[in-house]
Amino acid sequence: MSSPAFDLTRLFGTGLPEPSPRFAGFPEFNFVGGHNDPEQIPVEGLIEAAASVLRREGASLAMYNLGQGPQGYPGLRDFLADKLKRHRGMAIGRDEVMITSGSGQGIDMVSRLLVDPGETVILEECCYAGAINRFKRIGAKVVGTKLDEHGICIESLTQLLDELKAKGVTPKCIYTIPTIQNPTGSILPLERRQALLALARERGIAIFEDECYADLLWVRSAPPSLYALAPEQVVHIGSFSKSLAPALRVGYCVASWPVLSRLIAMKTDGGTGALDQMIIAEYFSRSFDTHVEHLSAVLREKLDTMVEAVAREFGTSVEMWKPEGGIFLWLKLPDRVDVTKLIKPAAEAGIVFNPGPEWVCDPATAKSSMRLCFALPSKRQIEDGVAALARVCFEQTGIPVRSANVENVRAG
């Protein structure tokens, strides 16, 4: 007699996300996520770095955290202290740095540190979807503040804080991406950085600074990080996902010791991958500046290719935010276009993109917007993919009327 079937799924807890579909590979035209250019991964350099550091320190892999504590590999923290001093103006040492498993872990930990359920957090109105979702997951009330082509508008933020104060609400923190904002690609000017810090200090609000894309700049330099300007007010995170490789899940958090010591106590993963840390430190200690300079130049050329393709295929039907670095192009179609209705037909044509409503605090404000990643596809794939996307958009909405200077005609 056979045993009755056992249904483990009926024992699942509540509040779980929807089940994930099986991964079936990427489509031909992949404009989603934070992938990077596969041809720019320095494979030979990483092989040499791995061999060198393993011969020198490989035996320490026998111990959790290499036997050197939960803050992370000292060689990587030393490199970061130097890099952040030279490039971001941050006068820090290794003791103010903690290595994380990607910047996502940093967002998880800092959001839990600063915000309790029901408390209010200010985000930029267009913002990293991962941060929006993490704050909502812990029960925070997410409020967006206005952006323009240079980042946070200080007057609008002041007005928003006044409106919240009138309701008896003081936000716990302002989460901001001041250097290569995601998704718009802007750089917050120095004067606004100083004004933002002064306003936050006056209102008793912490600043949570995310500089995940700050290494990939078209300009030679950006203003100092917010942490560099006011370390007592700011918790700073960053990542190697964009400057080196997303699959190396290594990020970092910088904070004063009273803050960092509490974050270290929250890190319960047994340590970020030690070999990844060792290889990054070994490679970047010798090659960081030359690598990111070359990578940024390659990405700038791909951006130019995408901007030209979007202008050619969509014409005046599209408004683009020209990024000052990074890997994304944020664009807006006419208000009558709902980009969520393009997702399925685009996928059927081998195209994926990030719909705008997922990248804003108020989804209704970006129903006609989308984010396109230009780092992963080749220039030819960018050109062909944007043309295919324009065809799908026209078939579904009648926009754009003209592509590549040819008048479109709808079938049937």
Judged by average pLDDT, the poorest of 2-6, 363-367, 394-398 is: 2-6
Give the chain's end-to-end CA distance (angstroms, integer): 61
**pLDDT at position 409 over 70:** no
CA–CA distance, 193 with 21 (Å, rounded to integer)? 42
CA–CA distance, 368 with 272 (Å, rounded to integer)? 39
Place 34 in a pLDDT band, splitting at 50, 70 and 90.
Answer: confident
Q: Is the separation of the CB atoms in 34 and 326 below 8 Å?
A: no
Which H or E run includes 102?
helix 102-114
**pLDDT at position 338 over 60:** yes
Domains and CATH numbers, the chain: 21-41+290-407 (3.90.1150.10), 59-287 (3.40.640.10)
pLDDT at 26: 86
pTM for the whole thing?
0.93
pLDDT at 256: 96
Q: What percent of the chain has pLDDT over 90?
A: 88
Angle between helices 257-266 and 102-114 (to 10 degrees): 110
Judged by average pLDDT, the poorest of 24-33, 99-108, 165-174 is: 24-33
pLDDT at 219: 78
**pLDDT at position 134 over 80:** yes
pLDDT at 400: 87
Q: Is the separation of the CB atoms in 317 and 399 below 8 Å?
A: yes
CA–CA distance, 67 with 72 (Å, rounded to integer)? 10
354: nearest Cα among 331, 380, 382: 331
pLDDT at 408: 64
Place 149 in a pLDDT band, splitting at 50, 70 and 90.
Answer: very high
The residue-averaged pLDDT of 198-223 equals: 93
Amino acid at 28: E
CA–CA distance, 138 with 149 (Å, rounded to integer)? 30
- Give the number of residues written for the chain: 412
- 72-105 b/e (C-beta count within 10 Å ≥ 16 → b): bbbbbbebbbbbbeebbebebebebbbbbbbbbb
261: nearest Cα among 107, 55, 60, 109: 109
Which H or E run includes 76?
helix 74-88
Please tell me whether residue 365 adopts helix, strand or coil conformation. Answer: helix
The residue-averaged pLDDT of 228-239 equals: 97
The residue-averaged pLDDT of 26-43 equals: 92
65: nearest Cα among 281, 276, 285, 283: 276
pLDDT digits 0-9 by tens, 284-312: 999 999 999 999 999 999 999 999 999 99
The residue-averaged pLDDT of 205-211 equals: 97
The residue-averaged pLDDT of 25-34 equals: 90
pLDDT at 410: 56
**pLDDT at position 220 over 90:** no
**pLDDT at position 32 over 90:** yes
pLDDT digits 0-9 by tens, 45-58: 999 999 999 999 99
pLDDT digits 0-9 by tens, 236-285: 999 999 999 999 999 999 999 999 999 999 998 888 999 999 999 999 99
Please tell me whether residue 157 adopts helix, strand or coil conformation. Answer: helix
136 burial level (CB within 10 Å; 0-12, 13-18, 19+) = middle
The residue-averaged pLDDT of 145-169 equals: 96
Q: Calculate the average pLDDT of the chain.
A: 93
